Amino acid sequence: MSDVGLYGLAVMGQNFALNMASHGFSVCVGNRSQPKVDLTVNRAKAEGNLPLVGSSSVEDFVSKLSKPRKVIILVQAGKPVDATIAALSEYMEEGDLIIDGGNEWFPNSVRRAEELKPKGINFIGMGISGGEEGARNGPSLMPGGPKESYDIIAPILTKCAAQVSDGECVAYCGPVGSGNYIKMVHNGIEYADMQLIGEVYSVLKDVVGMSNDEMAAQFAKWNEGDLDSYLIEITSKILAKKDDVTGKGHVVDYVLDKTGSKGTGRWTVQEAAEQSVACPTLAASLDCRYISSIKGERVKASKILKGPTEFPNVSKEQVRFHV
């Protein structure tokens, strides 16, 4: 019988399953489509015959788990989570535990916990930060739910989370919804960070006149000091990346200036308003995402609305220093 199950095998799900297996926990994986299950099982074999098995159905998946069953689900937020919980809970029992590791609006986690109570199935909403690479090698985990339920899954989470000088990057966050809340705010702040980086890029490129390679070097230098962070690091690498499709120029110059959002930034701004907390930088970054997403309208507007054509005559070194 497997120590833990993971249902939902997009790349994040596959990688977190392999993470748990690589730390010695036996894992059973399941997915709505069988090819993803087979792919994950084959990855586990290729990465050192890790203790990971597949399943052929939801019933088969649940039957392969030791009691109390511990199931982590990593599926798209919203209705797919509800559908997955409904399918799993049909075969799970009182005392079992479901952990939703997706980016979810925290009231939904509170609702799902209440809906599972009559069956005696426990529920944790858990934020996961670190992307696909973090899921495989050590993410930051933010679980929120009953403390006794956290204690059941804690031995697995503490080993699989990122490990830093002052311990593992996981801690009990509080009642159900609290982990999702923390991850929501985390993502909202990240929206603002990325908008600031984007605006710095624009100033360095259009005002200072720096090349992609020069900007890459500048971000790399910043990453050696107080700004040392994942986002600054990857910005440097992205700016330096040559385009290997055309063989001409840098990848960044071929990227469409249009972006979307998954909802966590909007939720953060909404919640800030509900709590009467000012978050102007976060709100502005969300506005910029919305403006960015309507590329066609921006192109039409640019033919009607005229902005400045010349930049102030200022020292470029001074601009770079103050940026």
Report the catalytic residues.
183, 190
Q: Tell me, what DSSP letter sits at residue 66?
A: P
Edge-first strand listing for the sheet containing 70-73: 52-53, 27-30, 4-7, 70-73, 97-100, 122-129, 140-144
Q: Read off φ and ψ for residue 112, nearest 5 degrees.
A: -65, -35
| Distance of alpha carbon 180 from alpha carbon 14, whole angstroms | 21
User: In sequence order, what are the beta bridge partners of 27?
Assistant: 4, 52
Question: What residue type is assigned to position 78 of the chain?
Answer: G
Residue 309's φ and ψ, nearest 5 degrees, are -105, -15
Q: Is 147 helix (H, G, I), strand (E, B) or coil?
A: helix
Rounded to whole angstroms, how far apart are CA atoms 127 and 131?
Answer: 11
Nearest 5°: the CA angle 16, 57, 149 is 50
Residue 175, token pair as written in the block = 């009642």
Q: Which two tokens stand for residue 237?
A: 């690498």
Contacts of 187 (CB under 8 A, 6+ apart): 103, 264, 265, 268
